[in-house]
Amino acid sequence: MSLHDMMETVVNGFEIAGVAILVVGSLVALVSAAANARRDGARAAYQQARQGIGRAILLGLEVLIIADIVLTITVDRTLESAVTLGLIVLVRTFLSFSLEVELEGTLPWRRRATGSGSTTVTSTVGRDEPHAGGSSVSS
C-alpha cells in the first residue's frame, strides 16, 4: 500500500467518523430530549434537543475539517484544492461561530463578562478550611 492510498484510507476514516458523529449525536440528542419531555416539558425538551444537535454538528464539523486538511496536504496537492480547503475552513468557522453563539446565548468574548460559560472559578476561602490560627470555620 502506497502512502497516497494510505492517506486516502485515513481521509475516508475521518469522513466516516464525522458523519457518524453527526448522525449518532443528533439521534442521541433527540432521544434524550424526547425521554425528558414528560419530566421537563416540551419547551425544555426542545431546547435540550437543539443544544445537543448543535454540539453534535460542531464536533462533526471539526472531524470533517480534519479530513479535508489531510486530503489537501497529503493526497490532492493543487492550488484548486488549497482554495477549496480555505473556503471550507471559512464556512466551517462561520458555522461554528454561529452555533456557539446560538448554544451559549452570548458572543464568545462576552462570556466571561456575563458569567456564562463553563469556566467558573469558585472560591473556597472560609469553607471548612483552617485559618492562620489553626481553627476551622463552618458555614
Kindly report the pTM of this predicted structure.
0.68
What lies within 8 Å, CB to CB, of 112 at 6+ separation is: 119
pLDDT in tens, the chain (139 residues): 888 889 899 999 999 999 999 999 999 999 999 999 888 898 999 999 999 998 999 899 889 989 888 888 887 788 888 898 889 888 888 888 888 888 777 777 777 665 544 444 344 444 444 444 444 444 3
**Which residues in 76-103 are b (16+ Cβ under 10 Å) and which e?**
beeeeeeeebeebeeebeeeeeebbeeb
Q: What is the pLDDT of residue 109?
A: 78
Spatial distance between the Cα atoms of 73 and 4, rounded to a whole number of angstroms: 11
